[in-house]
Chains A and B, each alone.
Chain A
């Protein structure tokens, strides 16, 4: 059973989500504050947690800080941001802090579940792994071991960014539209969530590129989308 960590300060929302998730077979840990959540992750039981649903507005540490705290502990735990603030600015900030997805409150149970399932799917080892490591001008992508290293140094990537890189680098030079990437990486068909793609590309560049403002690996094709290379 997948184990989800709910970080939400509002007791009713927390209870409601816990109720729904438990009914649908998820194991649920809850935390009312960011500090509590990080302590829980650090505790011996933290290892069973497979996904975090994180409220943005929390007393004490806010959601962005908690997200960065989680990313400092593990690169691979999927984080879904749950926000009552649906403004572009907040969503972008949340995504740039390292969240894999965002959900604006109020959210219906089926949508939340679908998003959790999609995030968990991304975290699973990709079934489409091919052969071995390929070297792209110093950037080595190991599709079997799901690791990425640059000039011999391992670059830890969260599942969403890793999947995005695998998707793009599978066909170097091919242009992917945001919608295509959204569908293949996030399993979303929701129009307009292309901010997810842009934010993930931004994070990926900050980790891979020498000069993120002039990217070499993940390039923008204005008006169309993104492509890997040409190097």
Chain B
């Protein structure tokens, strides 16, 4: 029992460790945090993208409009084909109206830049230039140059004479997008700063959720363990209407059913035991009358005709046998009903064995090898029953000499008193050895020699009762083959002395 609980204790602590790693609580927290992170990141990404797009579009639209308006206005006073100076003037003029933006004006091979120091080639891509040259209105492109974002708007200048022919003059305006980028990045920063508290909050919420989910689960676990340990009254309180409440309700129903069937079985068992006890008990009264009358018959048998005398003796012997059977049945039913109690006191065992043999007149028929001074806390009456049974069996079924040996042994599980009863009969076959302690089991005819004193003995319950008595002491009875044949029944009782009583 203690071994099992220690084992389950070890399993329990290992289980708890495993639970910490892969337990429901950890899983819930991780899931919550992951979900919170995914939602936060997705929402942020979407918001970032939309915000960025909106900001850029506004900037682009404004830039394209500004460029278009300004170029149209400036181009109206511009003569074609330009020379280098007029083109530079043109670029400067366009630039003047657009604020601090770099304006590049191209006419065929001529290029003029409003800011002569600026490097424009890297920012105005060939792709954009080709698109502008294709001459289909204003075009724009976002470019990254030296790590900074720029918006380049390019537009061909068309003649204002209605058919919108391209004049060959192309204007590119480079707008700095650093402010916009900083704005959107600030948004990203603020979101990034917000993720940590969100994760922490998610973890806290997960812990709270885990608590509300795990508390009933833990209660259910406790109740289940109680049930498994035999507390059939173990129940959980059902709260709410969720799945856990359903589970708790199911558990309670199961426990109810289990308790009911357990009660039914117990009731049946108790009824069966009561029946045996009642039958034995009811048999006692007629037996009491028969036993008395049989004595009278036996006393007078000598004066009866031979047939009647035999009948009288048979009635006497059978009555005695029936009495013993009823006694044994009563004793067994007391064991079954757990109505036996150990009246243990420190006892000299050599004395007890000698007493048992003397009381039954077996002293001359049994060889004894008794260690003196072996004292243990036992119920002397029950030890007497065991010894009487084992020796009686050996005398009836085995062959002389019958030897009773008393000694002590020490094994890993403690010290024991041993009483070995050996005979020199034919011994017991392994099958018989296995069943010799079964109730009403009778060994085969070879061993049953039908000796004179057999009548009245051997209800078939003797060895079963002996074993029950040994178990009541926390002991056992084993049966083995003797070294020279014959059977050896060994009673082992815990060597407890006064003060270490198990009661």
Whether B289 lies near A108 (C-beta < 8 A) is no
Q: Is A10 an interface residue (CB 8 A)?
A: yes
CA distance A19 to B294 in the complex (A): 11
Give a binary string over B259-271; 1 marks a CB under 8 Å from any A CB, 0 the rest: 0000000000000
Q: Is A75 an interface residue (CB 8 A)?
A: no
Whether A15 lies near B289 (C-beta < 8 A) is yes
Give a binary string over B279-320; 1 marks a CB under 8 Å from any A CB, 0 the rest: 001001111111111011001000000000000000000011
Q: Is B217 an interface residue (CB 8 A)?
A: no
Give chain A nearest CB distance to B290 CB in angstroms. Answer: 7
Whether B295 lies near A106 (C-beta < 8 A) is no
Closest to B320 in A: A108
Q: Which of A85, A105, A190, A192 contacts B288 (CB 8 A)?
A: A105
CA distance A194 to B326 in the complex (A): 23
Closest to B316 in A: A108
Residues of B within 8 A of A23 (CB): 296, 299
Q: Is B343 an interface residue (CB 8 A)?
A: yes
Whether A109 lies near B295 (C-beta < 8 A) is yes
Q: Which of A84, A87, A107 contacts B291 (CB 8 A)?
A: A107
- Residue with the highest number of chain A CB atoms closer than 10 Å, among B289, B319, B323, B346: B289
Q: Which of under 10, 10 to 19, 20 to 34, or 35 or more describes the interface residues of A?
A: 20 to 34
- Contact flag A10-B289 (CB < 8 Å), given A86-B330, A223-B498: yes
CA distance A17 to B294 in the complex (A): 11
Q: Which of A13, A110, A223 contacts B346 (CB 8 A)?
A: A223
List B residues 341-366 near A (Cβ within 8 Å): 341, 343, 345-346, 352, 355-356, 359
Give chain B nearest CB distance to A4 CB in angstroms. Answer: 14
Give chain A nearest CB distance to B375 CB in angstroms. Answer: 9
Q: Is A16 an interface residue (CB 8 A)?
A: yes
Give chain B nearest CB distance to A177 CB in angstroms. Answer: 9
Residues of B within 8 A of A39 (CB): none
Closest to B293 in A: A16
Q: Is A191 an interface residue (CB 8 A)?
A: yes
CA distance A7 to B289 in the complex (A): 14
Residues of B within 8 A of A17 (CB): 292
Q: Is A12 an interface residue (CB 8 A)?
A: yes
Residues of B within 8 A of A192 (CB): 380-381, 384
Give chain B nearest CB distance to A105 CB in angstroms. Answer: 4
Residues of B within 8 A of A151 (CB): none
- Residue with the highest number of chain B CB atoms closer than 10 Å, among A86, A195, A224: A86
Residues of A within 8 A of B285 (CB): 10, 12-13, 84, 105
Closest to A111 in B: B291
Residues of A within 8 A of B288 (CB): 10, 13, 16, 84, 105-107
Q: Is B334 an interface residue (CB 8 A)?
A: yes
Q: Which of B284, B292, B380 contacts A20 (CB 8 A)?
A: B292
CA distance A112 to B293 in the complex (A): 13
CA distance A216 to B466 in the complex (A): 39
Closest to A198 in B: B343
Residues of B within 8 A of A128 (CB): none
Residues of A within 8 A of B291 (CB): 16, 106-109
Residues of B within 8 A of A190 (CB): 359
- Residue with the highest number of chain B CB atoms closer than 10 Å, among A17, A109, A224: A109
Whether B295 lies near A191 (C-beta < 8 A) is no
Q: Which of B284, B296, B330, B356 contacts A191 (CB 8 A)?
A: B356
Closest to B291 in A: A106
CA distance A86 to B287 in the complex (A): 14
Q: Which of under 10, 10 to 19, 20 to 34, or 35 or more describes the interface residues of B?
A: 35 or more
Residues of B within 8 A of A88 (CB): 341
Q: Is B339 an interface residue (CB 8 A)?
A: yes
List A residues 97-121 near B (Cβ within 8 Å): 105-110, 112
Give a binary string over B371-391; 1 marks a CB under 8 Å from any A CB, 0 the rest: 000000100110010000000
Whether A13 lies near B292 (C-beta < 8 A) is yes
Whether B292 lies near A223 (C-beta < 8 A) is no
Whether B287 lies near A20 (C-beta < 8 A) is no
Give chain B nearest CB distance to A66 CB in angstroms. Answer: 18
Q: Which of A19, A89, A195 contacts B296 (CB 8 A)?
A: A19
- Contact flag A20-B295 (CB < 8 Å), given A10-B285, A84-B285, A189-B359: yes
Whether B380 lies near A191 (C-beta < 8 A) is yes
CA distance A188 to B326 in the complex (A): 24
Whether B292 lies near A84 (C-beta < 8 A) is no
CA distance A23 to B326 in the complex (A): 27
Residues of B within 8 A of A110 (CB): 295
Whether B345 lies near A223 (C-beta < 8 A) is yes
CA distance A215 to B109 in the complex (A): 135
Whether A194 lies near B343 (C-beta < 8 A) is yes
CA distance A13 to B319 in the complex (A): 14
Whether B287 lies near A105 (C-beta < 8 A) is yes
Residues of A within 8 A of B287 (CB): 105-106
Whether B292 lies near A16 (C-beta < 8 A) is yes
CA distance A17 to B295 in the complex (A): 10
Q: Which of B290, B341, B380, B381 contacts A106 (CB 8 A)?
A: B290
CA distance A108 to B317 in the complex (A): 12
Give chain B nearest CB distance to A53 CB in angstroms. Answer: 12
Whether B284 lies near A105 (C-beta < 8 A) is yes
Residues of B within 8 A of A223 (CB): 345-346, 377, 498
CA distance A133 to B375 in the complex (A): 40
- Contact flag A106-B323 (CB < 8 Å), given A16-B289, A85-B281: yes
CA distance A17 to B341 in the complex (A): 32
- Residue with the highest number of chain B CB atoms closer than 10 Å, among A85, A88, A195, A223: A223
Give chain B nearest CB distance to A56 CB in angstroms. Answer: 11
Q: Which of A16, A84, A194 contacts B284 (CB 8 A)?
A: A84
Give chain A nearest CB distance to B464 CB in angstroms. Answer: 18
- Residue with the highest number of chain B CB atoms closer than 10 Å, among A112, A190, A192, A224: A192
If A17-B292, A23-B299 are given as contacts, then 15 extra A-B residue pairs at C-beta distance below 8 Å, sorted by A number, are A13-B288, A13-B289, A13-B292, A15-B289, A16-B292, A86-B327, A105-B284, A106-B291, A109-B295, A109-B296, A110-B295, A112-B292, A190-B359, A192-B384, A222-B498
Q: List 9 A-B contacts (CB under 8 A).
A: A16-B290, A105-B287, A106-B284, A106-B287, A106-B319, A108-B295, A109-B292, A109-B295, A191-B352
Question: Which 3 residue pairs across A and B have the least CB separation, nearest first?
Answer: A192-B381, A16-B292, A12-B289
Q: Which residues of B contact A (CB under 8 A)?
A: 281, 284-293, 295-296, 299, 319-320, 323, 326-327, 330, 334, 339, 341, 343, 345-346, 352, 355-356, 359, 377, 380-381, 384, 498
